[in-house]
Chains A and B, each alone.
Chain A
Amino acid sequence: MFQLLIQYEFLRNALLAGMVVGIVCPAIGVFLVVRRLSLMADALSHITLSGLAAGILLQKNLSFFQPINPMYMGMFFSVIGSLFIEQLRKAYRFYQELAIPIILSAGIGLGVVLISIANGFNVDLFSYLFGSVVAITRSDLWTVSIVGLIVLLSIVFLYKELFALSFDEEYAEISGIKKRFVNLVFSILVALTIAISMRIVGILLVSALITLPVAAALRISRSFFHTFWISILFAQLAVLGGMVLSFYLNWAPGGTIVLFAVLILLCVLLTKKRSK
C-alpha cells in the first residue's frame, strides 16, 4: 500500500485529511462530551447539510456562486446554527437539551426541501452525506488543513478557559474568565470542525469521530489532560485503521472508520470490565 501512497496523490490527500480530522474532532469532542453536549455535533451536522444544499442550489441557479465550494455555505450555516443553539439553551434553561432536536430537525427539514428544489439527489450530495475521502482535491486538503490548524490552535490557546467553563461554569465566571467570549468561540470551533470533517466521514457520521474516541478515553484516563490526548490517539487509530481496512476490503471509508472507532470502544469496555 505504501507504494500506492507515494504514487497516487488522491490517496495521500485522503490520508492527510483524515489525520487532520482525526486530531481536531476528538479535541473538540472532549469538551462537548464533558459538557454533556455530545449530540450537538449531530445537530450541527444536519444544519451543515442544509447549508450544503443551499450552496449547491445557489451554484446551480446563480452564476455568482459557481466557483464557491458549497462547503463554505455549509460552514456558514453551521456557525449560525451553533449561535442558535446557544440562544435556545438560554431560552430553555431547564430543558437545555431541547435545543438539539430543534436544530437537528430544522436542519434536516430545510435540507430536504432545498434538495428537492434543486431537483433531487445527485452524486455530490451522496458524498457529503457519507464522505468521499478519495475525492479530496488539493484545494480541499488545503482548506481542511488550514481550518483544522486554526481550530487546533484555538483549542490549545483556550484550553484552560474551556476546561474551567466545562467543569464549573459559575466558578469560572466568578474567577474572571470571559464566559460569553469563550463559549462563542467554542461554538464557532465546533461548527468549523464539523464542516471540515464531513468530507472524510460524511455528515451522518461526523459526530461519531467527535464522541466515540472520547467515550473510549473516558473509560481509561485518569485526568482531563490524559483524556484529551488519549481521545486523539484513539481517533487517529480509527482513521488510519479504518482507511487501510476500507482500502483492502473495498468498503466505504467513512463507515469503516466509524466501525473501527466502535471497535476500539468495545475493546476498551471489555478490557476494563475484566480488570475490575
Chain B
Amino acid sequence: MENINFVVEKGDFVGLVGPNGSGKSTLLKIILGLLKPDSGQVKLFNQPISSFKERYKIGYVSQKANSFNSGFPATVYEVVSMGLYGKLGLFTRLSGVDKKKIFDAIEQVGLSKFSQRNIGHLSGGQQQRAFIARAMVSNPSLLILDEPTVGVDTESVERFYQLLGKLHREQNMTLLMVTHDIGMMTDHVTKVACLNKQIHFHGSPRDFEISQKNILNQVYGSHMHPVEHQH
C-alpha cells in the first residue's frame, strides 16, 4: 500500500471495499496497532497510536475464519465477557455492573437464549453475533469489522446490517467495516472507501453509485462486474 491518507470522522459508517490482496485487512491491522507502517503515522481519537491507552474505546470483530478453536469450552457469556477484560486490567474482577453490561450486550444481538450455550455449538451467524456482542460490551466509540458477513447466511446478514444501523444511529457509534458485499453495503453506510494499494475513492454512497463503474474499473480491473442483489 502506498500513499494512504485515510481519515474516519466521528459518526461515520464507512464501508471499505477492495479486491483480495488489496491491503484491506492490513490497513485494519495497522489501525488496530497489530502491524506497524513502514512510514507515516497512525492516530486514534486524535492521539498517536503509541500513546493511546484507552483500548476499550475500540471494538473489533475479525473474520470468523481466523479466530478460534470451535471446540473451546466457553459459553457465549464467557466469550462476551472477554470484551471487558482489557478495560478492567490485571487483578480486577467483574463487578455486578459489568455482568449486567454483558447480559445487555448479549440481548442486543438477540442471543439471550444462548448465553449459557457453548460457543462451538452455535451456527456461524450466531457466533458472529456473539463476537459483535464481545466487541460492543465495553461500549466502544469506534467499531471495526473485518468482513463480518463471510460464512453467514443471508437472513442473518440482513439482521446484522440492521443491528449495525441501530448502533450507528442510536448510540452514535463510528463504524469501519471491510466487506466484499458492495451491493448490500451501499444501502447502509454513510461513506464508501475503495482500496487497492491506494485509496481510489472515499466519499458518499451516492457519489459512489454515480461513478460506480469507473471506480470499480480502477479498483478491481475492467473485467469485474458487481453481482446485483435484488431485494
**A interface with B by C-beta (< 8 Å):** 34, 36, 157-158, 160-161, 163-164, 166-168, 170-178, 218, 221-227
Smallest CB separation, B135 vs chain A (Å):
9
A interface, over-half SS: helix
Further pairs besides A163-B82, A170-B67: 4, Cβ < 8 Å: A158-B90, A168-B67, A173-B34, A224-B78
Contact B118 A174 (CB under 8 A): no
Bound complex: CA A129 to CA B131 (Å): 46
Contact B78 A175 (CB under 8 A): no
Contact B118 A222 (CB under 8 A): yes
Q: A174 contacts which chain B residues (CB < 8 A)? A: 32-34, 55, 58, 60
Contact B82 A172 (CB under 8 A): yes
Interface string of B132-170 (1 = CB under 8 A from A): 001000100000000000000000000000000000000
B171 close to chain A: CB less than 8 A: no
Chain B contact residue count (CB 8 A cutoff): 33
Contact B116 A222 (CB under 8 A): yes
Contact B86 A222 (CB under 8 A): no
- B73 contact from A34, A158, A170, A173, Cβ within 8 A: A34
Q: B75 contacts which chain A residues (CB < 8 A)? A: 222-224
Contact B73 A218 (CB under 8 A): yes
Bound complex: CA A166 to CA B88 (Å): 18
- A175 contact from B74, B79, B83, Cβ within 8 A: B83
Q: B88 contacts which chain A residues (CB < 8 A)? A: 160
Within 8 A of A (CB), among B80-109: 82-83, 85-88, 90-91, 93
Contact B73 A176 (CB under 8 A): no
Q: A163-B78, A167-B79 are in contact. Are A176 and B56 (CB under 8 A)?
A: yes
Contact A164 B62 (CB under 8 A): no
Contact A36 B90 (CB under 8 A): no
B211 close to chain A: CB less than 8 A: no
Bound complex: CA A222 to CA B34 (Å): 32
Most buried by B among A160, A161, A163, A227: A160
- A171 contact from B74, B82, B118, Cβ within 8 A: B82
Give the nearest-CB partner of A173 in chain B.
B34
Q: A172-B82, A174-B32 are in contact. Are A224 and B67 (CB under 8 A)?
A: no
Q: A224 contacts which chain B residues (CB < 8 A)? A: 72-75, 78
- B68 contact from A163, A168, A221, Cβ within 8 A: A168
Bound complex: CA A226 to CA B117 (Å): 13
B66 close to chain A: CB less than 8 A: yes
B69 close to chain A: CB less than 8 A: yes
Smallest CB separation, B169 vs chain A (Å):
25
Q: A34-B69, A158-B90 are in contact. Are A164 and B58 (CB under 8 A)?
A: no
Contact A227 B73 (CB under 8 A): yes
- B85 contact from A175, A218, A221, A227, Cβ within 8 A: A175
Q: A164 contacts which chain B residues (CB < 8 A)? A: 82, 85
Smallest CB separation, B193 vs chain A (Å):
21
Bound complex: CA A226 to CA B78 (Å): 11
Bound complex: CA A218 to CA B72 (Å): 9
Most buried by A among B66, B90, B118: B90
Contact A175 B82 (CB under 8 A): yes
Contact A175 B55 (CB under 8 A): yes
Q: A171 contacts which chain B residues (CB < 8 A)? A: 60, 62, 67, 82, 134
Q: A36-B69, A170-B34, A221-B73 are in contact. Are A176 and B86 (CB under 8 A)?
A: yes
Bound complex: CA A226 to CA B79 (Å): 14
Q: B33 contacts which chain A residues (CB < 8 A)? A: 174
Smallest CB separation, A154 vs chain B (Å):
11
Contact A161 B74 (CB under 8 A): no
Interface string of B49-73 (1 = CB under 8 A from A): 0000101101010100011110011
Q: A158 contacts which chain B residues (CB < 8 A)? A: 90
Q: A173-B34, A222-B75, A222-B116 are in contact. Are A167 and B68 (CB under 8 A)?
A: yes
Smallest CB separation, B74 vs chain A (Å):
5
Q: B56 contacts which chain A residues (CB < 8 A)? A: 175-176
Smallest CB separation, B53 vs chain A (Å):
8
Bound complex: CA A222 to CA B114 (Å): 12
Bound complex: CA A166 to CA B53 (Å): 23
Contact B58 A160 (CB under 8 A): no
Smallest CB separation, B70 vs chain A (Å):
11
27 contacts between A and B (CB under 8 A): A34-B73, A157-B91, A160-B82, A160-B93, A163-B85, A167-B68, A167-B82, A170-B62, A170-B67, A171-B82, A171-B134, A172-B85, A174-B58, A175-B82, A175-B85, A176-B56, A221-B73, A222-B73, A222-B118, A223-B73, A223-B75, A223-B77, A223-B78, A224-B75, A224-B78, A225-B78, A227-B73
